[in-house]
A and B are shown apart, each in its own frame.
Chain A
């Protein structure tokens, strides 16, 4: 939050209170309001890149500690020219999309159950609370045994990682649906299914969508973990390979790719929110 309160005490009127003459009411209402400053974000980004590049060129930053952005960019170009970029991206996006979609759908379904039925809440909520904090990376060997070393274990890791936050966001959203709206539906004799479909699900949608933001980030974090074992292609596999070889330019290039994926997903969810939640102010 910005606390840039403005303190303008006009000097010309400073003596007025003693004389009791007419004077303007001192203005005290400034500050504490955010303005939208469009170009600031790209400028900050570019300045950091420029300082980093200059530091590397001048030898202030050792190339062993951190490669220059231009080198990382070179690695990216290289990846593009050899055609490996699309192979890695394709493999990773497939795992992300399948794992996240299944995890989210299951999460919404279970979240609705917990939100709607006392029995499901009593039985499943403690289970969710117990399983949510387990790092899914730790379970990777188990997933490999259960779902195979191929795509199965990788999708499963992402699926489980996105499932739990979606459950929690969904049932929280259901709990927060305005009770008077539900009572209104009942008072007009609406069927149970209609109340769920037309009142509860749309009412929980803001919470579900903000859950999507969190689960999408978790999915990207888990992507690297999922591609640790038995992955030939994938951005995560590429980063791990680069890390093992201490090819830091490639490592930075891979991390930048993940970052861009994250930005694009956040932008897409923003679009979705605009569409589905246009009724909000």
Chain B
């Protein structure tokens, strides 16, 4: 399934945050969106997921939904968005309960996704007992449970310390190698972008426009061993962004 954004323009209180943005997320492709803070990355992702309506332009899906997908467009949030009063399995169960799945089958799905994210031993734990990395793994397990066609990831690793971030990035690469999910991955961390992105879309500061698109052909699985080449790419993206980031830093913000 493909996600197409066409000429998205959006305003907040008279200010333009997104200006004429068009992009496509192809089947099995991770598209990273980077840009200075406040450039409307998260807004763009909310529009892509149908949580917000753009003032102009449209978000389209094309192609058939994959079989058995309960929620084709599925989010991963920066702050995990786990219910603190539900256990790990309860949090995964939550998103299955509205779909009229028999209890036994639901248990099977939960056990399966927890095994795939190596969380089986933590099924009964409450979110407050888990580290940040584990919480995000739970959120990933929850997303996998609904068999998404496209994952919308809003700075999924930004709330984690750098060691945990490395571990989760490896997990994501392994997961992608196995399942070839497509994703729209918003981040301000250029290292994540070059490690995970098939394409990197660089946005300008507000109003967000597409500054440049960087394509990376290197297979994901090889990237961990070819860091030197990635470093060059990362520097290239940073060169594109530097001036924008400096200007954005000096702006007074009133938009979340």
A positions within 8 Å CB-CB of B: 178, 180-181, 183-184, 186-191, 194, 198-199, 202, 279-281
Contacts and interface: CB of A to CB of B under 8 A. Distances in A.
Interface residues of B, number: 23
A184 B51 contact: no
Contacts of B248: none
Contact of B51 (A183, A190, A198): A183
B146 A184 contact: no
Nearest to A180: B81
Contacts of B84: 279-280
Interface stretch (B90-98, B160-168, B215-223): B90-98
13 contacts: A183-B51, A186-B51, A187-B51, A187-B73, A187-B74, A188-B142, A189-B98, A190-B95, A190-B98, A191-B98, A194-B97, A194-B98, A202-B83
B49 interface: yes
A281 B77 CA distance: 23
Contacts of B242: none
B85 A279 contact: yes
Contacts of B51: 183, 186-187
Label chain B's interface by main secondary structure. Answer: loop
Contact of B83 (A181, A186, A187, A280): A181
Contacts of B126: 279
Contact of A180 (B49, B73, B79, B146): B79
Given A198-B94, A199-B83, A188 B77 contact: no
Contacts of B94: 188, 190, 198
Interface string B14-51: 00000000000000000000000000000000000101
B189 interface: no
Name the 10 nearest CB pairs between A and B, nearest first. A184-B81, A279-B85, A188-B95, A187-B75, A180-B81, A202-B85, A279-B84, A189-B71, A190-B98, A194-B98
Contacts of A202: 83, 85
A183 B42 CA distance: 13
Contacts of A180: 77, 79, 81
Nearest to A279: B85
Given A186-B51, A187-B51, A198 B74 contact: no
A255 B176 CA distance: 70
A198 B95 contact: no
B128 A279 contact: yes
Nearest to B152: A187
Contacts of A194: 97-98
Nearest to A182: B81
B128 A198 contact: no
B85 A188 contact: no
Nearest to B148: A188
B75 A184 contact: yes
Interface string B94-116: 11011000000000000000000
